[in-house]
Chains A and B, each alone.
Chain A
C-alpha cells in the first residue's frame, strides 16, 4: 500500500502556482528526500500532505485518506519545521510532557536521551533558544513522536555541522528500530544522500525525477572533449548541463546510458566522467536557467 499518493496535485496562491500538476506515490517505510531549489514548492507540498493546506485541484491521499481535516492523518503525522510554535509559558520539559499526551507512540526515553545528549536544560524556554537549538529541539520532538508519517521540512537550519551529523545518526538509528515513513526536505542533497532511500526532485512545482538514491548516483555521466566532437556525438540527446572549458573543449552532462552509447562510437576522442548526485540535482534544476 502506498503511504502517500498524489495525482495532478496543484496549488495556486493567487496567480502563483506553487505546486504544478504533481503526481507521485511514496511506498511504505522509506526515508524519502524532497529535494529542490528554494521556491520549488517543497514546503507547500509538505503542508498539503500534512493536511494544513488544501489543494487547488488534483488529489492527495495519506494513509488512503484526504489529509485535510482528517484526524486519522493528523494523529499519525508529525510536521517539523523551523517555525514550529509552542506555548511561550511552557518549559522544554513541559512541552515534551504535553507531546507525550498527544502522541500514542511517544518514546520518552528516546526524547530524554536526546535532550540530555544535546545538553538542553529542563527549565529552558523555547523562545530563549538560539535558532540552531530550536531546530535541534524540534527534531527531538519529531523523532520521539514516533509517528507513522514523520515530515521534516528543512529541519537542520541553523544547526552546527556536528549537531547535524548527530541528528542524522539518531534519525537512522531510530528508523532502524522503528521503520516508518519519513520525508525530509532539503535544498541541498550532498549531506543527506546517505540517509535517504528515495529522492523526489522538484523544480518550479513540478516533478523532475523520482528514484532511489543509488540509481541517482548512476543516473548521469559527463562527457569531456573537443567542442565539435561533443556537439556531434550528443546531437538529439537531452543535455542536462553544458560548460565550456577553454576555447575548444567542453563538458556535457547527459544520461549515463546515452553517454556510454556515445563513447562506444567515439573511441578515445572523449572522456567519460562520473557526475555526483548533488551536482546532478543542481544541474537538473538551477542549471538550466
Chain B
C-alpha cells in the first residue's frame, strides 16, 4: 500500500510528531488524487498496527511509540528482506562476504557525505 508507506516515511522523517494529528483521508485524497476511501485504507493499515490512534470526533493521532514501531517493523521486514536479496544476488554473482560488506559501507558513506 503506497499511501501507508508514504505516511510511514513522513513519520520517520519527523514531519509529524508524536501525539500530533495525522493527515485526514480527505487531505490525502486531495494531495494524491486518490479516492478518499483508498486514502482511508492506508490510514487504517497504520491504525491496525497501533501507529495511529483515534480520538473520537477529532480524527487520527500519532501514538507515542509510532516511530519505534515503524522502525522495528521496517528493520524486521523491509530491511531484512532487502539484505536477504542483496545476499542472494551476491551469491549468484560470486561476490564474497567481505566484498559485500565493503559495498554496504561504501554506499552508507556516500549517503552520509551527500547529506552533509
Which residues in A have some Cβ–Cβ distance to B below 8 Å?
30-31, 165, 168-169, 172-173, 176, 194-197, 212-214
Contact = CB atoms under 8 A, between A and B. Distances in A.
Nearest to A212: B37
B33 interface: yes
B63 interface: no
Contacts of B102: none
Nearest to A196: B35
B81 to A, nearest CB: 15
A31 B33 contact: no
B50 interface: no
| Size class of the contact patch on chain B | 10 to 19
Interface in B13-68: 26, 29-30, 32-38, 41
A63 B94 CA distance: 67
A196 B38 CA distance: 8
Interface of B is mostly: helix
Nearest to B1: A214
A176 B1 CA distance: 22
Contact of A194 (B26, B33, B41): B33
Given A172-B29, A173-B30, A214-B38, 6 more contacts: A168-B33, A194-B32, A194-B33, A194-B34, A194-B38, A195-B34
Contacts of B32: 194
Closest 5 CB pairs of A and B: A197-B37, A194-B34, A197-B35, A214-B41, A169-B33
A66 B96 CA distance: 73
A173 B27 CA distance: 10
Contacts of A196: 35
Contact of B35 (A31, A165, A169, A173): A31
A30 B35 CA distance: 9
A195 B30 contact: no
B37 A172 contact: no
A236 to B, nearest CB: 32
A197 B33 contact: no
A194 B37 CA distance: 10
A181 to B, nearest CB: 13
A30 B29 CA distance: 14
A213 B29 CA distance: 15
A82 B26 CA distance: 31
8 contacts: A172-B29, A176-B26, A194-B32, A194-B33, A194-B34, A195-B34, A197-B35, A213-B38
Nearest to B27: A176
A165 B26 CA distance: 18
Nearest to A194: B34
A194 B30 contact: no
A29 to B, nearest CB: 10
Contacts of B35: 31, 172, 194-197, 213
